[in-house]
Structure 1
Amino acid sequence: MKVRNAVRCFLIENDKVLVTRYKEGNKKAEYYDIPGGKIEENEYPRDTAIREFEEETGMEIKDLTYKGEMSVEYPDRKFIFQIFRTNTYSGEPQEFEENISEWMTIKELLTKQKRLSNIILLEQKYISYLLDNKSKIYIYIKVDENEKILDVQLEILDNGVKQDLKDYIEKEIFPVYDKNEKGHGIEHIYSVINRSLKIAKEYNVDKNIVYTVAAYHDIGHHINPKIHEKLSAEIFMKDNIIKKWFSKEEIEIIKEAIEDHRASSDHEPKSLYGKIISTADRTIESIDTCIKRTYLYGKRNYPEKTEKEQIDRIYEHLNEKYGKNGYAKTYLYNEEFQIYKMAFIKALSDKETFMERVNKVVSEMQQEKK
C-alpha cells in the first residue's frame, strides 16, 4: 500500500472554518476539504501547512498549533496527515483554477454530502480535542473510494501525562529546540513524542517518563551533534525543576534512555523506555532526502574532503546505517520503519545504480544554488 505524507490546517474563527471546494476536472470535484497538501522533500510539516494554505486560499496564516496525526486509509493507499489549527491569518479567500476557498459555518459544512473524511474532526464528538490547547491526538479513519467512512478510532496520545509536567516542558524546554538545526528541531520532537506515546500504549509503562524522555532526547544537539545524547542527558540531570515529578530511580531511567536513543549506539538500551525512544526516533524520509542530508552534513563537518570523497562518503554512510547489516534498527516492532529499511536495502544492493542516483541528486542541488 502506498503511503503519502501530507498536512491539513484548520483555520477556525468563531463558528466558521476556512474550506476549499474542488472544481470540475479534479477527481474529487465538488468535494469540500480542509486546506493542506503534500510534504515536499526537505520540508517540515509546519512550513508545508503555511505554504499550501497560501497556494490553495491566497491567505497567509501564522501561530499554528500542532494537534497530532490523522491516518486516512483507502483500499489501495494511505494518507498520513500532520494536523494543525490556527485562528491567525491575513487576506481573504480566493478562487483558483482548481479550487474555490471560502468561509463556511461548521454547522453548514457538516450538512454537505460531499466532504472529505478529515472534516470529521469538526463533528461534535471530536471538535473539542481540535480546539483545546492541551491534547495531542491520533485519529485513524478507514474509507472507501466514495469517501464513505467505514471505521474511526481516536486516541488521546498524551492522555495520562500530567498537565503541569507538559506545561513546564512546553514553556521551558521546547523553546531551546529553536537553537537546533531543523532536522532536530521542535517539529522532530513533536513527531518523536507522538510515536513514543503510540508505541507506549502497547506496554505497561509510565507515560510521564515516556513523554519526558522524548522531550529531552535531542536538546543538546546544537552544542555538539556527535555526542548530543550525552549532552542531552546532562542537561536533563541539571534541571532541578523537572526532578520534582520523578523519583530517584525514575530520574536514572530517564537519563539512561536519553543516552541510549541514538541509532549509532553500540549497545542495546538498558530499559524499555530506552527501546521506546530509540524506536520512535528512527527517521523515515525519502532516499533522495537522505542523500541530500548526508551530502550537506559531509560538507559542513568534513570540509577537507574533495568533492569525489564527499560523494563516495554518501554511499559509505548510508550503507553503514541502512544497509543489510546497518546499525539503524528498532528494538521494538515498527512496521513503517521496516518497510522503509527494506526499500533502502534494495536500493543500496546495486551500488552502481545507487551512485548514479547520488550524482543526480547532488547535481540538482548544485543547480538550485546557481
Structure 2
Amino acid sequence: MTDMTHTTEQVQAYMARVPESLVRYLEDEVLPQYDHFDPAHRRDHARSVMQRSMAMGAHYADTDAGMLLTAAACHDLGLCEGRACHHLVSERIVRADQRLRQWFDGAQIEVIAEAAEDHRASADRAPRTIYGMIVAEADRLIDPLVSMRRAVQYGLANYPELTREQHYQRMVAHLHEKYAEGGYLHLWLPESPNAAPLAELRRMMADEPLMRQTFDLLWQQEMP
C-alpha cells in the first residue's frame, strides 16, 4: 500500500496551482449554496471534501489541482433538487455553469462534471477518472463518530416523525447497509486513508452496547 501522507508544505504547493480567481469564485459563489442543505451537507462538509481532495491530490502529481478542487466544491450541489438523484443534478449544474469556462475548456469541464456525478457512495461502478476516485474518497470521511453523527442528523432532518428508538434503528440499518462487509460503499483507491477508519467503524458496529451509548450521546447533542 502506498503512503498518501504528505506534509503541509506539499499540500500547500499543490493547492498553489489553483488560480486565485477560481478559489474566490468557489468560495463566494459555489460554497454559499450549501447553506440551504441539511446539517450533514452544509458548507463545512463541502470544505472538508475540498481539503481532503487536495491532500489526496498531492499524491498524484499529474492531476490538475483546479479541476479537482472544483469537482470537490460542486459534488453535492445537486442536493438543491433532493438527495435521490443529487449526483446527476450536480453533474448537470457543472456542465451548465458558464463561469467555469473562464478556467477550463470543454473537455476539462466534462471530467469535472463526471467526477461530481461519480462521487456517490452507492454507485455500482468505479468512478471514470482519478478525479472522481479522489472526490469519492474525500467525500467518505469515514470517521466512526462523524459517520454516526451524520446518520443521526439526516434522520432528524428527514424523518422527524420517528421515535427515538426508531431513529436508533434507522441509524444502525443505514450504517450496516453502507459500511458493513458487502455494503454498498467501496474504497476506490488502494491507498485510501479511509481503510483504517472503516475497519474501526465495523468493530464499533459489532458492539451493540457501544452503539447504543454513542447514539445516546449524539441524540442529546443533536436534538433541536
Cross-structure match for 2:211: 358
Over 3 Å counting, the alpha-carbon distance change for 1:336 and 1:270 in structure 2 is closer
Over 3 Å counting, the alpha-carbon distance change for 1:361 and 1:342 in structure 2 is closer
Over 3 Å counting, the alpha-carbon distance change for 1:363 and 1:199 in structure 2 is closer
Over 3 Å counting, the alpha-carbon distance change for 1:324 and 1:154 in structure 2 is same
Over 3 Å counting, the alpha-carbon distance change for 1:210 and 1:313 in structure 2 is same
Could you report, residue by residue, the CA deviation over 1:311-331 in whole angstroms, capped at 9, with x for unpaired residues? 333222111211122222321
Among 139, 150, 166, the residue aligned to 1:293: 150
2:68 match: secondary structure: helix
Structure number, greater radius of gyration: 1
Q: Say yes or no: does 1:342 pair with 2:195.
A: no
Could you report, residue by residue, the CA deviation over 1:77-122 in whole angstroms, capped at 9, with x for unpaired residues? xxxxxxxxxxxxxxxxxxxxxxxxxxxxxxxxxxxxxxxxxxxxxx
Could you report, residue by residue, the CA deviation over 1:197-237 in whole angstroms, capped at 9, with x for unpaired residues? 22222221111211110111112324312222122222222
How far is the alpha carbon of 1:305 from its aligned partner?
A: 5.4
Distance in 2 separating the partners of 1:191 and 1:367: 24
2:84 match: secondary structure: helix
For 2:179, the aligned partner's letter is: Y
Over 3 Å counting, the alpha-carbon distance change for 1:364 and 1:206 in structure 2 is closer
Q: Report the TM-score when normalising by structure 2.
A: 0.82
Task: Report matched runs for 1:110-149 at 5 Å.
Answer: 139=8
Distance in 2 separating the partners of 1:186 and 1:301: 19
Cross-structure match for 1:183: 40
- Contact 1:181–1:222 (8 Å) recurs in 2: no
Distance in 2 separating the partners of 1:247 and 1:358: 48
- Structure having the higher strand fraction is 1
Structure 1 outlier segments of 4+, above 6 Å: none
Structure 2 gap segments, 5+ residues each: none
- Contact 2:40–2:150 (8 Å) recurs in 1: no
How far is the alpha carbon of 1:302 from its aligned partner?
A: 4.0
Cross-structure match for 1:283: 141
- Contact 1:193–1:215 (8 Å) recurs in 2: yes
Distance in 2 separating the partners of 1:261 and 1:333: 16
Among 187, 201, 205, the residue aligned to 2:63: 205
- Contact 2:180–2:202 (8 Å) recurs in 1: yes
Q: Say yes or no: does 1:221 pair with 2:74.
A: no
Over 3 Å counting, the alpha-carbon distance change for 1:207 and 1:298 in structure 2 is same
Distance in 1 separating the partners of 2:114 and 2:41: 20
Cross-structure match for 1:168: 25
Structure 1 gap segments, 5+ residues each: 1-70, 72-136, 140-152
How far is the alpha carbon of 1:296 from its aligned partner?
A: 3.9
Distance in 1 separating the partners of 2:53 and 2:29: 21
1:225 match: secondary structure: coil
Among 236, 240, 244, the residue aligned to 2:94: 236
Over 3 Å counting, the alpha-carbon distance change for 1:209 and 1:305 in structure 2 is same
How far is the alpha carbon of 1:242 from its aligned partner?
A: 1.1
Among 272, 281, 286, the residue aligned to 2:130: 272
For 2:95, the aligned partner's letter is: M
- Contact 1:292–1:361 (8 Å) recurs in 2: no
Distance in 1 separating the partners of 2:45 and 2:219: 26
Could you report, residue by residue, the CA deviation over 1:249-278 in whole angstroms, capped at 9, with x for unpaired residues? 111111111000011112111111111111
How far is the alpha carbon of 1:170 from its aligned partner?
A: 2.0
Q: Higher relative contact order at CA 8 Å, sep ≥6: structure 1 or structure 2?
A: 2
- Contact 1:197–1:210 (8 Å) recurs in 2: yes
Distance in 1 separating the partners of 2:66 and 2:100: 11
